Structure 1
Amino acid sequence: MAKGKKIGHADMRGDSGIALIHRIVNQMGFVWNALHLEAGIDGLIEVRDSITEEVSNCIVQVQSKAGESYFKSETETTFEFICKERDLDYWLQGNSPVVLIVSRPTNDEAYWVSIKDYFQDPKLRKSRRIVFEKTRDRFEVGTRDRLAALALPVDSGLYLPAIPQEEVLFSNLIPLSNYPKRLFRATTRLRYPNQVWEQFEKSKQQGQPEWFLHEKYIYSFHDLTFPPWTRVCISGTTKNLSTDDWAYSHERKKKHVFVRLLLACLKELLFRQGIRYQKLKEHYFFRATEDLGERKVGGLSVFKSYESKQTADRIAYFRHRAAKLKWVHFGDDWYLEITPSYHFTRDGWKLSRYFEERLRGIKQLERQNKTHLRQVRLWEEILTQKYIVPNRMKLHQKSFFEDDSDSEPEIEPYDLISFSEILNFTVDKNVPEKVWLSSRFNDEYERKDVQLELFD
């Protein structure tokens, strides 16, 4: 009995890859034309205006490669593809733009590269190697405008409207929702902060940290007519003032006083959560744990050690999450501006010798906006004290022989200032990040492994 005709698995995978490309191109509002007689080009994408429905006769040629075998040297963030010399010669010789799309249809994922742009560098052309970065090179609806830029002449004048899709845009501003309504000012003979703390110690009473000295005055959110403040203030000089008069004053000096008090409050709010201020780097960072073990907050590692790649069993450095926090005033409101960063130490405390190199390296790795947003949201959670649980009365029976003095105290929420949710906006048009973030070709082919900059 004669064997029946067959269509192989490779053909089926190839067809699945084409189907995936067709679907994504259709979602863009562009036109997909498959080529059934081809020698290295599987289809054409024609630019179309999804509002006017006009087609442009401007095309991008597409070569599709589908299947696991094309994902060489794959990591969580990258993979490689080696072009055949004949294919590369063919793609480069024409006058139409050519894109290579490598896909894994079973996972509904595809990645793309503009062949002629990528291989402008003779060294890359000689190697025939393409390094795909999974986040940057994802082939998806948001790729639409970058594809159109390849196909359309510079002077075409064709405008593609933003994709009609609702999106929430998050800022890095968190509103100050509550602060003390009164501030106090008193005359003092003391001129240095350590003199004030010495008086607190002599009084055997603990002084609160929300104060500062300026010229001959001491300013605080605490009533200065009560001990231990009476030890550092001249009797009868205390003024009870409206905080709003200073917060929204047109006088720069008054605003300066308000911000200084806010900074003192912020420092205390963060101190309770194991966060310190680094004066040299001008940022706040998560302090090391006592045993130098990893610490996580909200699922993110905020303190972690990294081993040397050159010397076994040696810690190369410790990474602490950090942020620059700056008070800003817009309209009728005050905000804290959050700029996520990192802090690097060699032993948990002393600054790493290669601090700047490591910071540059990790920022290159985390250019994706989603990573940046998650870090901003982490600081939002810290500032809103999401992970602080108030003290609760212990329900166990207390023994006459039991001493609770050594039990670890729980952290009390800070109540002098508070924040609301981070400022965000809902828009009805989608502007894909890949359109307005720096393009791969304007970054001077930053192809080298940035891990090389994370010195041991």
Structure 2
Amino acid sequence: MAAADSHAYHPDMAKNITQNQLTGEIGEAAVRLRFLKIGFQFDVRSRLEAGIDAIAEVMLQGRPLAHMIAVQVKATKTGQHAGEDATGFHYLLRTEDLDYWRGSNLPVIIVLYREADDSFYWKEVPIGDAPAERRLNFSKKDDVLDESCVDRLAALTVPKAGFGYYVPPLGGGEEGLVNILPIALPKEVFVSTTPHSHAQAVAILLEDDEPARFDWVIKGSAFWSFHDPRKTVCRKIVDLDQVEAIDVEHLAYHEDEDERNTFAHLLRKTLQHQVRGELSWNKDRKLFYFRARAENTTRVFKYPSAKKNTEADVVNVARNKTDKERVEFVRHHAFVPRFESFFAEWFLVVEPTYFFTTNGFTPHTYPDALLSGKKRLDNSSALRGQVIMWHRFLASLEPKQDLFAAASEELRISFGEPPAIALPTRVPEDAWGSQRKTDDEDDDEDLLNWA
């Protein structure tokens, strides 16, 4: 009898494809079909992918737009998502995935597919300079991957950086507001030489008996300011015989980009001086925020809006839901300023945001989750209102014209109305996320749930 063939087939030696692998392949195929049905292209990457399964491309009536979205698919056969109930659930991102995605030059979304009920949910992943948050909260109403989310997905590919971004119109959709304010500049800039560095100049002013002022810049040995240093405490940090006034346009529109950058810095320092009684500057987050008047106390700013007089709680105290004496955090209206010049004019780009403290004065230790949660609640109406509010506030700081005012009233930079543009079509509200209308108190209660 012949010996048994040592290479004969044995069932135990066969290669097996695991159930998880099958589920993953089914999930990718199902998500690809879903994207195709809503009118997007969907190209699956190779097996060498490290955290992005596919690239979705936005199409307009079958025409590819070269607007791309990176997609990571997470598929499961059965079972519940974490914290799942009738309204939603949450998903915890892996730290290594989040670190990988944050370097992406494309918007990144995660799609959760469950084979048992053929459900698809999606969420944008915070990348770039966005606050790092591992926990994503999904709404079963708002975050379904179907035809209703096309505008929101497409909106992810529109950059909100540069000179300004469009704040979508309300109601009829005929007019949009741009978050830039034209700047009216003083006619002159005072320049001089100085023997001091910036740090040395600051120390000299702080040690002096006169009130210090810092609406100036020092670059190398050059001193720039919109105010005449010979008439203020700054005479102690400049060479007085070298002070001269020059036309502002010479520096504002200089050919050298470094000179224009220095001028932009001077604008920011001047604005900081003008608002010093009302706003604080946070150098870490590079933003202005409303000062609290007292510890754990709400502050209201009243101003004329687009149609009527209104008011905003620009400092809002969030208290514990069960223990009303306990303050969880204080939320301040804030904005990130950016000064840009184009078309022979300077503008202040206003990026509305929020700043969080523990009592109105001490910065909050963990503000990122609070900020991310609050911004998720903001819709186009909130953004539009904040741009208008900041313009009204900045305009309110201008010195009033008075025939009996002192002749020495210092010149200030002032701001024009944010420009409005006519839009051919209405920007859908759902492109800005949730349409739920809330007031600040409701928002802060939701933040307490997320924090």
Q: TM-score range by the shorter chain?
A: 0.5 to 0.7
Check if 1:417 corresponds to 2:413. yes
Check if 1:361 corresponds to 2:373. yes
Match of 1:236 among 235, 238, 241: 241
Q: Secondary structure at the match of 2:197?
A: coil
Task: Return the offset for 1:430.
Answer: 3.1
**Based on CA coordinates, which of the two structures has the bigger radius of gyration?**
1
Give per-residue Cα distances to partners, 1:277-299, cap 9 Å, x unaligned. 11111111111122432111131
Residues 293, 304 of structure 1: 8 Å contact kept: yes
Give per-residue Cα distances to partners, 1:166-201, cap 9 Å, x unaligned. 71110101111x212111221212213453563586
Check if 1:283 corresponds to 2:287. yes
Tell me, in whole angstroms, the C-alpha distance in 1 between the residues paired with 2:182 and 2:283: 24
Tell me, in whole angstroms, the C-alpha distance in 2 between the residues paired with 1:430 and 1:327: 30
Check if 1:248 corresponds to 2:246. no
Tell me, in whole angstroms, the C-alpha distance in 2 between the residues paired with 1:359 and 1:235: 47
Residues 172, 339 of structure 1: 8 Å contact kept: yes
Name the residue aligned to 2:119. 121
Check if 1:348 corresponds to 2:360. yes
Match of 1:338 among 327, 341, 350: 350
Match of 1:198 among 204, 208, 226: 204
Change (3 A) 1:450 1:217: same
Name the residue aligned to 2:319. 307
Check if 1:373 corresponds to 2:377. no
Task: Return the offset for 1:310.
Answer: 5.3
| Equivalenced residues, count | 279
Task: Provide the identity percentage.
Answer: 20
Tell me, in whole angstroms, the C-alpha distance in 2 between the residues paired with 1:167 and 1:146: 22
The amino acid across from 2:192 in the alignment is A
Change (3 A) 1:120 1:385: farther
Q: Which runs of 5+ in 1 are unaligned?
A: 1-79, 82-118, 124-129, 138-144, 150-164, 394-411, 441-448
Tell me, in whole angstroms, the C-alpha distance in 2 between the residues paired with 1:451 and 1:413: 46
Change (3 A) 1:432 1:199: closer
Name the residue aligned to 1:182. 188
Q: Which runs of 5+ in 2 are unaligned?
A: 1-85, 88-116, 122-138, 152-171, 303-310, 436-443
Task: Return the offset for 1:229.
Answer: 4.0
The amino acid across from 1:375 in the alignment is Q
Change (3 A) 1:288 1:199: closer
TM-score normalised according to structure 1 size: 0.53
Q: Secondary structure at the match of 2:241?
A: coil
Match of 1:271 among 273, 276, 282: 276
The amino acid across from 2:182 in the alignment is P
Question: RMSD across aligned C-alpha pairs, in angstroms?
Answer: 3.8
Q: Secondary structure at the match of 1:271?
A: coil
More divergent stretch after superposition (274-283 vs 252-261): 252-261
Residues 294, 301 of structure 1: 8 Å contact kept: yes
Change (3 A) 1:247 1:313: same
Name the residue aligned to 1:430. 425
Name the residue aligned to 1:259. 264
Give per-residue Cα distances to partners, 1:199-246, cap 9 Å, x unaligned. 5864x5445432122211221112244464443222432233221011
Tell me, in whole angstroms, the C-alpha distance in 2 between the residues paired with 1:181 and 1:387: 16
Give per-residue Cα distances to partners, 1:29-48, cap 9 Å, x unaligned. xxxxxxxxxxxxxxxxxxxx
Task: Return the offset for 1:426.
Answer: 2.8
Change (3 A) 1:385 1:439: closer
Q: Secondary structure at the match of 1:335?
A: strand
Tell me, in whole angstroms, the C-alpha distance in 1 between the residues paired with 2:353 and 2:447: 19
